[in-house]
């Protein structure tokens, strides 16, 4: 039998299940980006809140919108929106059945009418996880008017991007004169709330603004948030473990996650679920210090592990972090380069860095470097270039950032030669591959052309030419030498 509402009373008592009747939920939240992260993060906190709030909590069901994966929305519907979350603790796996999704839909089904759903007065909050590349931003964190998806949304009747969908929904709210929902960006984008607000206002301006941008500026709140939980892409082991732990009930869409959970939200007024019922959720006055620490120390270090790890022949973040040389390089990069501008006491930074390396090494989390390496061009500015710029200005080492950028460029060069064994997904992949094709074996020209892309790297770095030369030298070494031997030398 498959997991669905009628199977709920048969799950073994060792599995955590909902403490409310999922059939009685009503939608209070629309979520854009129904994917793995959402299912392991916002849904778990919402489930805890619904459980803690009794009847009132039932109004916080989530309508979760899959932006790119119709099959996930379909599979959720088939299981009455229930699925298993496997928490990979060091001591073993804990299974919980997640039940806070009230409805799952696919954005591409035009009959769904996303604008009308957002404008439904019962919807108090719109949350988003569409990934950093889903906002189509340039390095200065404004909307890229040349992104094909944005251009298509400006022309078409049914928007498909987050900015286009929000603009349409908010326009309807304004026409109807109702209260707009609070928009909660839950992606790894710096100052994510205000950045999204600006992106929506930029979209509206490009769309022949009729006063909507000013109305949004005045009436719609976009609190900043910091989200953190490592959630790998589900695999066959997850399905197998879910069936075993559910006592033979089959789940087509289980997923696993690490035990760590953090959700830091800028305080806002108005109705909301009692998310703080879930440990790790906090409402604070200013999210920036948490967000910067996480974006640079976690997400930035993930990038060095992925790009360099793949070149050294490892497949997962855990293997990359466990490699003696690369683990040392990554830990040093995290603690001494990626802490630039992170305003935390030294001992807290030490503890955070230690915890992060431990989390990366968790053998229960099979996080492929190919996944983490995706969409580097949309991640570079906030995660790598901002601290690098500050380090250069202060005369500090940027050795790790140099290695990271050279490794990223090497991915494209190898891909261009059809010699990279893993897929390379990036919104700017075509342009970046062309640079590699044009520059051929001229490493200097390759690096110069990459670093000249202001939409990715921002304006020139301090002492730009010297930095380009350093990255070129590293790229040449990555090309000519054995990567493990090079890492061994760099780790000393």
Under a CB-based contact definition with an 8 Å cutoff, are residues 461 and 389 in contact?
yes
Near ligand CS2 by CB under 6 A: residue from 299, 316, 318, 467: 299
Cβ at position 306, least distance to ligand CS2 in Å: 8
Q: Please identify, among the stretches 23-31, 53-61, 295-303, 463-471, the one whose residues bind ligand CS2 according to the rule CB under 6 A.
A: 295-303
Instruction: Give the residue with the Cβ less far from ligand CS2, 132 or 471.
Output: 132
Under a CB-based contact definition with an 8 Å cutoff, are residues 336 and 397 in contact?
yes
Using the structure block, give the residue that is written with the tokens 């700017």: 428
Token pair listed for 418: 């059809």
Near ligand CS2 by CB under 6 A: residue from 302, 389, 410, 443: 302
Residue 229 sits in the site that holds ligand CS2 (CB under 6 A) = yes
3-state secondary structure of 101: strand
Token pair listed for 468: 């380009």
3-state helix, strand, coil in the chain (%, to 5): 55, 15, 35
Near ligand CS2 by CB under 6 A: residue from 114, 200, 230, 449: 230
Cβ at position 366, least distance to ligand CS2 in Å: 13
- Separation between Cα atoms, residue 492 and residue 487, nearest integer Å: 9
Spell out, one character per residue from 70 to 109, where the chain touches ligand CS2: x when CB under 6 A holds, - when not: ----------------------------------------
Q: Please identify, among the stretches 45-53, 223-231, 269-277, 337-345, the one whose residues bind ligand CS2 according to the rule CB under 6 A.
A: 223-231
- Separation between Cα atoms, residue 443 and residue 412, nearest integer Å: 12
Instruction: Give the residue with the Cβ less far from ligand CS2, 372 or 392.
Output: 372
Cβ at position 302, least distance to ligand CS2 in Å: 4
Q: Please identify, among the stretches 121-129, 228-236, 269-277, 428-436, the one whose residues bind ligand CS2 according to the rule CB under 6 A.
A: 228-236
Provide the 10 A C-beta neighbour count for residue 399. 17
Identify the bridge partners of residue 62 per DSSP, sorted by sequence position: 29, 101
List strands edge to edge, sheet with 262-266.
225-228, 262-266, 281-284
Spell out, one character per residue from 368 to 407, where the chain touches ligand CS2: x when CB under 6 A holds, - when not: ----x-----------------------------------
Near ligand CS2 by CB under 6 A: residue from 80, 228, 337, 416: 228
Near ligand CS2 by CB under 6 A: residue from 64, 84, 171, 188: 188
Instruction: Give the residue with the Cβ less far from ligand CS2, 25 or 295.
Output: 295
**Which helix (H) or strand (E) is 83 found in, with range?**
strand 83-89
- Separation between Cα atoms, residue 445 and residue 277, nearest integer Å: 54
Number of residues in contact with ligand CS2, rule: CB under 6 A?
Answer: 8
| Half-sphere exposure for 391 (CA within 13 Å, toward CB) | 23
**Which helix (H) or strand (E) is 105 found in, with range?**
strand 101-106
Q: Please identify, among the stretches 4-12, 21-29, 60-68, 294-302, the one whose residues bind ligand CS2 according to the rule CB under 6 A.
A: 294-302
Helices (H), 177-300: 192-206, 212-219, 236-245, 288-293
Cβ at position 282, least distance to ligand CS2 in Å: 15
Token pair listed for 277: 């019922």
Cβ at position 227, least distance to ligand CS2 in Å: 6
Contacts to ligand CS2 by CB under 6 A: 188, 228-230, 298-299, 302, 372
């Amino acid at each position: 039998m498959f997991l669905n509402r009628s199977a709920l009373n048969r799950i073994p008592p060792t599995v955590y299940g909902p403490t409310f009747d999922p059939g009685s939920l009503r939608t209070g939240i629309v979520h854009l980006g129904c994917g793995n992260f959402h299912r392991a993060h916002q849904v778990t906190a919402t489930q805890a809140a619904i459980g803690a709030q009794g009847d009132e909590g039932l109004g916080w069901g989530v309508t979760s919108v899959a932006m790119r994966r119709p099959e996930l929305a379909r599979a959720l519907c088939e299981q009455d929106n229930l699925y298993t979350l496997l928490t990979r603790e060091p001591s073993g796996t804990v299974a919980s059945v997640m039940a806070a999704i009230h409805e799952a839909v696919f954005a591409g089904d035009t009959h769904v009418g996303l604008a009308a759903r957002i404008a439904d007065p019962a919807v108090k909050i719109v949350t988003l996880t569409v990934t950093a590349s889903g906002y189509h931003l340039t390095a200065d964190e404004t909307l890229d008017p040349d992104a094909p998806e944005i251009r298509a949304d400006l022309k078409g009747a049914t928007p498909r991007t987050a900015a286009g969908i929000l603009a349409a929904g908010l326009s309807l709210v304004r026409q109807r004169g109702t209260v707009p929902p609070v928009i909660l960006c839950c992606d790894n984008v710096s100052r994510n709330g205000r950045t999204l607000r600006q992106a929506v206002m930029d979209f509206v301006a490009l769309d022949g603004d009729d006063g909507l941008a000013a109305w949004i500026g005045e009436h719609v709140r976009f609190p900043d948030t910091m989200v953190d939980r490592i959630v790998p892409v589900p695999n066959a082991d997850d399905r197998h473990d879910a069936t075993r732990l559910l006592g033979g009930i089959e789940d087509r869409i289980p997923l696993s996650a690490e035990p760590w959970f953090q959700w830091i939200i800028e305080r806002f007024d108005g109705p909301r679920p009692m998310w703080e019922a879930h440990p790790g959720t906090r409402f604070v006055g200013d999210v920036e210090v948490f967000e910067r620490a996480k974006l640079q120390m976690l997400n930035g270090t993930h990038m060095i592990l992925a790009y360099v790890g793949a070149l050294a022949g490892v497949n997962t973040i855990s293997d990359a972090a466990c490699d003696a040389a690369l683990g040392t390089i990554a830990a040093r990069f995290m603690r001494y380069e990626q802490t630039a501008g992170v305003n935390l006491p030294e001992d807290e930074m030490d503890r955070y860095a230690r915890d992060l390396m431990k989390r990366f090494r968790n053998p229960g989390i099979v996080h492929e470097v190919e996944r983490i390496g995706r969409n580097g061009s949309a991640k570079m500015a906030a995660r790598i270039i901002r601290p690098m710029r500050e380090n250069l200005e202060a005369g500090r080492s940027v050795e790790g950032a140099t290695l990271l950028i050279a490794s990223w460029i090497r991915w494209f060069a190898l891909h261009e030669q059809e010699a990279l064994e893993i897929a390379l997904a990036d919104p700017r992949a075509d342009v970046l591959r062309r640079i590699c094709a044009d520059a051929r074996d001229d490493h200097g020209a390759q690096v110069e052309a990459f670093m000249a892309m202001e939409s990715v790297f921002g304006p020139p770095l301090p002492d730009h030419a010297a930095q380009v030369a350093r990255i070129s030298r590293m790229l040449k070494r990555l090309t000519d030498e054995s990567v493990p031997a090079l890492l061994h030398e760099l780790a000393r």
